[in-house]
């Protein structure tokens, strides 16, 4: 059967590296998305090649030190380096389900729905925060002074300190999907219900979103611009004002400082010379 974007594949994550990108996507048949099967594509010069058909759900990918890492729905880990795979499907036991991977401070971290941040220390995951059973973690990043911060559901924002969380009061109960360092002393936190909080950690204020209600999923820095994925548009932060960078679907942005990509439902695009270039994903499986 032939699967392709748009229509037959649902991209879920993009990992960039010097020579291109990796993208994972789930097939879509006549019914819902097949989350139990994940296809991995390697992209070079806007040509996507299927390099692995996982017979399992892959929940996240990340590029670190010349290797692509993928994590499955049971927190098993897979590493691709120089064309060779190293599969470690058993390292997920007894780690909670890892829903996303983040490279922070040059190390690979896994985020769970149980308040647990996992650190990969080959050959095992190490839990660096305690299990609290009710905090779904969305993001992990360094703020301007190098301290690690995490975001989660129900207005969760916290420093990661000494194996635990030092929670920060925020003026919202919306789920917070990303935290981004704008400068040494200023962060931008985004989330559901058009949440955009800016300031120091102890004094965050909501930016004017001009009546928007969509999720502001994440923030990237590209060519000294601060861009925010806002579902049906991309916003740009200028000072404390949000303006429209582009009226185009963008569920999530991915940027390495040079390349700028977006994913939107059933497609992925790369930004070049002022326009979005679609990168089709096609698989005969």
* Per-residue pLDDT band at 4 (split at 50, 70, 90): confident
Q: Which two tokens stand for residue 53?
A: 């058909």
pTM over 0.85: yes
Interatomic CA distance for residues 8 and 30, integer angstroms: 9
User: What is the three-class DSSP state of 59?
Assistant: strand
Q: What is the pLDDT of residue 285?
A: 80
Would you give the DSSP letter of residue 92?
G
pLDDT at 70: 98
* Least trusted range by pLDDT, from 31-45, 137-151, 251-265: 31-45
Is the pLDDT at 10 greater than 90? The verdict is: yes
Structure tokens at 280: 């089709």
Contact predicate 40/52, CB 8 Å? yes
State percent of the chain over pLDDT 90: 91
Statement: residue 1 has pLDDT above 80: no
Q: For residues 94 and 189, what is the distance between their CA atoms, to the nearest angstrom?
A: 31
Q: Are the C-beta atoms of 57 and 99 separated by less than 8 Å?
A: no
Place of tokens 């070079």: 44
* 173 has a pLDDT exceeding 90: yes
- 7 vs 107, more confident: 107
Cα–Cα distance measured from residue 114 to residue 162, given in angstroms and rounded to the nearest whole number: 18
Among 72-81, 113-122, 127-136, 218-227, the minimum mean pLDDT is found in 127-136
238 burial (CB, 10 Å; 0-12 / 13-18 / 19+) is exposed
Is residue 90 classed as helix, strand or coil in its secondary structure? Answer: helix
Q: Is the pLDDT of residue 103 over 80?
A: yes
Higher pLDDT among residues 1 and 204, named by residue = 204
Nearest to 201 by CA among 163, 165, 153: 165
Angle at 284 between CA 278 and CA 285, to 5 degrees: 130
Confidence tier at 147 by pLDDT (50, 70, 90) = very high
Of the pLDDT bands very low, low, confident and very high (cuts 50, 70, 90), residue 186 is: very high
- b/e per residue 125-157 (b: at least 16 CB within 10 A): bebbbeeeeebbbbbbbebeeeebbbbbbebbb
């Amino acid at each position: 059967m032939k699967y392709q974007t748009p229509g037959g594949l649902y991209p879920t994550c993009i990992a960039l590296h010097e020579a291109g990108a990796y993208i994972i996507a789930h097939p879509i048949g006549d019914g819902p998305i097949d989350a139990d099967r994940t296809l991995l594509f390697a992209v070079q010069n806007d040509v996507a090649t299927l390099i692995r058909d996982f017979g399992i759900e892959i929940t996240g990918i990340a590029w670190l030190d010349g290797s692509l890492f993928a994590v499955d729905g049971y927190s098993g880990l897979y590493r691709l380096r120089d064309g060779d795979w190293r599969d470690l499907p058993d390292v997920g036991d007894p780690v909670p389900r890892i829903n996303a991977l983040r490279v922070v401070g040059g190390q690979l971290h896994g985020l769970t729905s149980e308040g647990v941040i996992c650190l990969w220390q080959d050959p095992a995951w190490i839990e660096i925060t305690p299990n609290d059973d009710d905090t779904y973690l969305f993001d992990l990043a360094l703020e301007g002074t190098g301290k690690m911060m995490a975001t989660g559901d129900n207005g969760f924002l916290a420093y990661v300190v000494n194996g635990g969380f030092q929670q920060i009061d925020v003026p919202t109960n919306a789920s917070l999907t990303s935290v981004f360092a704008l400068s040494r002393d200023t962060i931008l936190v985004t989330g559901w219900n058009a949440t955009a909080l800016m300031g120091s950690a102890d004094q965050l204020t909501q930016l004017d979103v001009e009546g928007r209600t969509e999720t502001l999923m994440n923030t990237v820095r590209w060519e000294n611009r601060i861009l925010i994925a806002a579902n049906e548009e991309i916003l740009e932060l200028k000072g404390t004002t949000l303006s429209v960078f582009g009226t185009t679907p963008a569920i999530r942005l991915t940027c390495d400082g040079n390349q700028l990509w977006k994913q939107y439902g059933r497609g992925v695009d790369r930004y070049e010379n002022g326009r979005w270039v679609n990168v089709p994903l096609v698989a005969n499986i």
